[in-house]
A and B are shown apart, each in its own frame.
Chain A
Amino acid sequence: MKLELRGITKRFGSLVANDHIDLVVEPGEIHSLLGENGAGKSTLMNVLYGLYSADEGDILLDSVVQKFKGPGDAMAAGIGMVHQHFMLIPVFTVAENVVLGNEPTGALGILDLDSARKRVREISDRFGFDIDPDAIVEDLPVGSQQRVEIIKALARDAKVLVLDEPTAVLTPQETDELMGIMRGLATAGTSIVFITHKLREVQAVADRITVIRLGAVVGDAKPTDSAEKLATMMVGRAVDLGVNKKKAVLGSTGLSVKGLTVIGDGSLKVVDDVTFDVRGGEVLAIAGVQGNGQTELAEALVGLREPSAGKILLGDLDITDSSVREIIDAGVGYIPEDRKKDGLVGDFTIAENLMLNKSFGPPWAKGVQIDFANRDRLADELIAEFDVRTPGRETMAKQLSGGNQQKVVVARELGRDLNLFIASQPTRGVDVGSIEFIHERIIATRDAGKPVVIISTELDEVTGLADRIAVMYRGRIVGIVDASTSRETLGRMMAGATV
């Protein structure tokens, strides 16, 4: 089906999120949308999907103007969408989520869950997913949840499929498989709009590329264009895509983890006898497929989870049983993987968010009172130093784009003296410009002689930042290898192979 957007304009108050955007997607084409955080990609797709109503412009399917009153109409017209943020009901099973809105029913509207399950299995089999239809979605790792989202879209046999950052939480292998599926669908005639911040993927799969900046189309590009060129178009300036770092100057052991075991919410050892050391001036990256215990490992390191066995030493200090606050006071900086949930308070201002874990004493607080003079000064300094693009420190965090939100978290954590820095998925969903910046700051921390632990499912990031790489699989570390290890080897290790 041919999709045409003509002059789509969408305003939020006086802010123009989409400014007369034209876009044509031919049948069977994979069309990539590129743009910085907040450029307006998701807004445009939400208009197409009927979730937002456009202020101006038309949507045409096979040259027929469509009037969508809501997503229901768009779905009926053959549009399917995988949303950037999960649109799954956490307490429902996979099958329930997949059929929601399009439920197979028997008499009296009774749910036919058997045929729902069958449908999930069919699609899983067809595309090689391995998903239990009866699993509760919130119990699934994020990667699997993303697959459920994809199954949901596929289950409706969409003629136009929108994929908004579907690969943000997928491993390289999973991404490759997804791109294979996209190819297959396109060959079968489905038109696909594919949004991602990862230029490698765009180059690999897209037929055509449209770049959006500040709500307007800045131009078309070809997949054969260089990554640098694409990045420049997106950001409006030259971007350095690699990570530049000097050879590590190793200090003494900063973090020492011995036999750490963490029991998850069920009775599973989500972290299973993990041992490693990180020295000052070194970046240890923990690689692995999402859901293999990295999150829980990080949370145990910062005191959010109670280890059932093992020891965590920060220099000479035993922090195994310390509280989160004690660990923060001991100089551990932490970037959580889900910034909206764990890293920020959306309804707080930037200044308030910058002092989230610093409210217990100077310089941000004076006795029992916030030291507003200092706070404002420090906040302004951090905003400037970490290049947070905002009208000012009093802006609500939720009004920032994802990249800038992430910079606020990074600024908070790196804006003080650290003895250890732990970052979980530091650049997830962040645009290339911001990635460059965040990576620079991480390396600067390492070069200042701090031990750094990076947890990332992003192989490029892992190999770019790390001095050593630990690969986790099923709660265990299958090996700790040098940063120069090949992608293929790492990929095999992530599937459980030991070195």
Chain B
Amino acid sequence: MNADSQPTTWSTAAKEIVSGGAFRAFLSVILGFIVGALFMVFSNEAFLNALSYLTARPTDALGAGWTAISDGYLALFRGSIYNYQADNFVAAMRPITETLRFAGPLIAAGLGVALGFRVGLFNIGASGQILFGALAATWVSTRMTLPWGVHLVVAAAVAIAAAAAFGALVGFLKARTGAHEVIVTIMLNYVAAGLLTFFFRQDYLLREADGGGTPKSDAPAETAQLPTLFGDSFTLHAGFLLALVGVVIYWWLMERSTIGYRFRMVGHNIDAARTAGVNVSRTFVYAMAASGAFVGIAAVNQALGARAGLTPDLDGSIGFDAITVALLGSSTGPGVLLAGLLFGAFKAGAPAMQVIGLSPEVTGVVQGFIVLFIAAPPLVRAIFRLPPPQKSTVIADWWVGLRKKKVAK
């Protein structure tokens, strides 16, 4: 071991920053935006028109391209963070509240899927769990009369419990029969959708009063609606707070609690967990129940955050987005929070982007590229020629120190 082959301290430090996760994530987002920009430019009619006479007047193409990009991202900013064109405070601030509102269910469902990943289970069933939770919530919120406050709490609790039970069913089937959770969750998504539709169609079940043959429920009773956070000018409701509470609980559960510790143990090494006295089958059931419970918070958001009747597609694409959110957030509480906010911002920004002529597909593609880059550190490192990760510095330093001591002896 040559001492002089050691890089100097400052350059090591610089390297560690440059190779660090936060900086790379930042670059990834930038890269995603760049590729997204290309997509916007090449889907822009003005640009394509200008391209056809590129040689005649190249500035047109450049100008059109630049306009497409700047318009697109400014629209995203206006739609998701702050609308600087607005003529009143409410309109200016609405975008950020919309971002938070959309982020709520994404974060919650993301936590649920993330929990599954930590236990080694792939929960593709968030969508089914949302539907089932919403089914239960809607029963309480439209078919029961309870005092203000109590009603909301009961509806939310029932939704979370129902989603948890639906999740636990997956864990139970896996523990009992070995059925693979991927198959079971995919199939249960369809089953939940069918069930919800059936309930929303029968007037003796959940169909809206004077509803026709279209499956739809009543709006949740006012006593059961999640209250808005900043008055009626903003639609942001307490569901986001629930999601935040979910993040804290998730963090506590996975990092501090003994059951979360055992979840992770099973996720990393089933055999060692079994040898250490952990009942693996039961852990699967608990974990899927917990996973479903977090997804249940998303169900609460969707079912009780609504001011109007619900339709069977109330889950939107949350179930699948949750998978990406969980993976993007490395299945950690804070990570899922950030990823959920990013996705929420995209959802909130999409209408503003559509207004300037960007179809929702373009937004989806930009989003996809960002995720891809965030998930591909080696690619980003290769593109920016970053140094390799300095992950094991602690152990390496220790080794170097030890070696020096021993060799010196």
Give the distance in Å from the alpha carbon of A375 to the alpha carbon of B271 in the complex: 23
Q: Are B275 and A304 in contact (CB under 8 A)?
A: yes
- Cβ contact within 8 Å between B258 and A365: yes
Q: Bound complex: CA of A348 vs CA of B260, how far in Å? A: 13
Instruction: With both chains docked as a complex, state the minimum distance between the C-beta of A239 and any C-beta of chain B, in angstroms.
Output: 16
When the two chains form their complex, are residues B396 and A356 in contact, meaning their CB atoms are under 8 A apart? Answer: no
- Tell whether, in the assembled complex, residue A323 and residue B272 are in contact, meaning their CB atoms are under 8 Å apart: no
Residues of B237-278 whose CB lies within 8 A of A: 252, 256-259, 261-262, 264-265, 268-269, 271-278
Q: Is B258 within 8 A of A356, CB to CB?
A: no
How long is the Cα–Cα vector from A323 to B278 in the complex, in angstroms?
9
Pair B258/A360 contact, Cβ less than 8 Å: yes
Question: A332-375 interface mask toward B, CB cutoff 8 Å, 1 = contact, 0 = none?
Answer: 00101000011111111000100111011000010011101000
In the assembled complex, B392 has its CB within 8 A of some CB on chain A = yes
Contact of B400 with A14 in the complex, beta carbons under 8 Å: yes
Contact of A370 (CB < 8 Å), options: B257, B398, B407: B257
- Number of B residues, CB within 8 Å of A: 39
- Establish whether residues A395 and B269, one from each chain, have CB atoms under 8 Å apart when the complex forms: no
Please give me the residue from chain B that is nearest to A19 by CB atom. Answer: B1
Q: Does B214 contact A (CB under 8 A)?
A: no
Is the beta-carbon distance between B258 and A214 smaller than 8 angstroms?
A: no
Q: Which of B8-26 contact A (CB under 8 A)?
A: none
In angstroms, how far is the closest chain A Cβ from the Cβ of B248?
14
Contact call A357/B277, Cβ cutoff below 8 A:
yes
Interface flag for A183 (CB, 8 Å): no
Q: Report if A236 contacts B (CB, 8 A).
A: yes
Check A345 against B398 for contact (C-beta < 8 Å): no
A399 at the interface (CB under 8 A from B): yes
Interface set, chain A 365-387, CB cutoff 8 A to B: 365, 368-370, 372
A101 interface residue (CB < 8 Å to B): no
Q: Is B228 in contact with chain A by the CB < 8 A criterion?
A: no
> In the complex, which residues 319-338 of chain A have their Cβ closer than 8 Å to any Cβ of chain B?
323-325, 327-329, 334, 336
Q: Are A323 and B277 in contact (CB under 8 A)?
A: yes
What 0/1 readout, one digit per residue, does chain B (371-408) give for beta carbons within 8 Å of chain A? 00000000000000000101111111111101100110
Instruction: Enumerate chain B residues within 8 angstroms of A370, measured Cβ to Cβ.
Output: 256-258, 261
A61-B271 Cα distance, complex, nearest whole Å = 43
Bound complex: CA A359 to CA B268 (Å): 16
Query: Residues of A contacting B259 with CB < 8 Å?
Result: 368
State in angstroms the CA–CA spacing of A9 and B392 once bound together. Answer: 19
- Closest residue of A by beta carbon distance from B398: A391
Q: Interface residue count for A (Cβ, 8 Å)?
A: 44
The answer to whether A304 and B274 have CB atoms under 8 Å apart is yes
- CB contact between A359 and one of B1, B258, B395, B397 (< 8 Å): that residue: B258
In contact, A15 and B396 (Cβ under 8 angstroms): yes
A360 CB contacts on chain B under 8 angstroms: 258, 277
Counting residue pairs across A and B whose Cβ atoms lie within 8 Å, the total is: 111
B272 touches A344 (CB 8 A): yes
CA distance A357 to B409 in the complex (A): 40
Cα of A15 to Cα of B1 in the assembled complex, Å: 9
Chain A residues positioned under 8 Å from B394 (CB to CB): 391-392, 395
- Residue in B265, B388, B393, B409 whose Cβ sees the most chain A Cβ within 10 Å: B265
The reply to whether B272 and A356 form a contact with Cβ atoms under 8 Å apart is yes
Query: How far is B164's CA from A40's CA once the two chains are assembled, in angstroms?
Result: 50
Query: Nearest chain A CB to B404's CB is how many angstroms away?
Result: 10
Check A205 for interface membership: any CB of B closer than 8 A. no
- Say if the beta carbon of B279 comes within 8 Å of chain A: yes
Docked-complex contact B271 and A341, CB < 8 angstroms: yes
Residue of B1, B279, B388 near A323 (CB, 8 A) is: B279
Q: Contact at A324–B409, with CB atoms within 8 Å?
A: no
Q: Which of B258, B272, B392, B400 contacts A342 (CB 8 A)?
A: B272
Expressed in whole angstroms, the Cα–Cα distance for A334 and B398 within the complex equals 31
The answer, yes or no, to whether A140 is at the interface (CB within 8 Å) is no
- Interface flag for A266 (CB, 8 Å): no
Inter-subunit contact A369/B272 (CB<8 Å): no
Given contacts A344-B269, A348-B268, A360-B258, contact A399 B392 (CB under 8 A): yes
Q: Do A369 and B275 have beta carbons less than 8 Å apart? A: no
CA distance A372 to B391 in the complex (A): 25
Contact at B276–A357, with CB atoms within 8 Å?
yes
Judging by beta carbons under 8 Å apart, are B406 and A214 in contact? yes
Closest CB in chain A relative to B119 CB, distance in Å: 13
Question: B269 to chain A: which residues have CB within 8 Å?
Answer: 341, 344-347
A334 to B275, CA, bound (A): 9
CB pair A324–B277 under 8 Å, yes or no, is yes
Q: Is there an interface contact between B258 and A369, defined as CB atoms closer than 8 Å?
A: yes
CA distance A392 to B397 in the complex (A): 12
| B259, B277, B390, B403, most chain A CB atoms within 10 A | B277
Judging by beta carbons under 8 Å apart, are B272 and A345 in contact? yes
A15 in contact with B268 (CB, 8 Å): no
Is A113 close to B, CB under 8 A? no
Q: Which residues of A contact B407 (CB under 8 A)?
A: 214, 216
Residues from chain B with a CB closer than 8 A to the CB of A356 are 265, 272-273, 276
Contact of A16 with B by CB under 8 A:
yes
Residues of B close to A12: CB separation below 8 A? 392
Alpha-carbon separation in the docked complex, A369 to B257 (Å): 4
On whether the beta carbons of A14 and B393 are closer than 8 Å, the reply is yes
A192 to chain B, nearest CB (A): 30
Contact of B275 (CB < 8 Å), options: A323, A324, A392: A324
Which residues in B have their C-beta under 8 angstroms from that of A395? 394-395
Complex CA distance for A327 and B265, rounded to whole angstroms: 19
Alpha-carbon separation in the docked complex, A482 to B261 (Å) = 44
Check A359/B406 contact, CB under 8 A, given A13-B396, A347-B268. Answer: no
Return chain B residues, CB-CB under 8 Å to A368: 257-259
Docked pose: A186 CA to B409 CA in angstroms? 38
Q: Which residues of B contact A323 (CB under 8 A)?
A: 277, 279
Is there an interface contact between B258 and A399, defined as CB atoms closer than 8 Å?
A: no
Cross-chain contact of B395 among A236, A336, A346, A399 (Cβ < 8 A): A399
**Chain B residues within an 8 Å CB radius of A346:** 268-269
Q: Which B residue's beta carbon lies closest to that of A303?
A: B277
- Residues on A facing B (Cβ under 8 Å): 12-16, 19, 213-216, 236, 302, 304, 323-325, 327-329, 334, 336, 341-348, 352, 355-357, 359-360, 365, 368-370, 372, 391-392, 395, 399
Sample (16) of A-B pairs whose CB atoms are under 8 Å apart: A13-B390, A13-B396, A14-B397, A15-B399, A19-B1, A323-B277, A336-B275, A356-B273, A356-B276, A357-B277, A359-B258, A368-B258, A370-B257, A370-B261, A391-B397, A399-B395
Q: List 4 extra interface pairs beyond A324-B276, A395-B395, CB under 8 A.
A: A16-B1, A356-B265, A359-B261, A392-B394
Closest 9 CB pairs of A and B: A325-B277, A391-B398, A357-B276, A14-B396, A356-B276, A359-B258, A324-B277, A342-B275, A345-B269
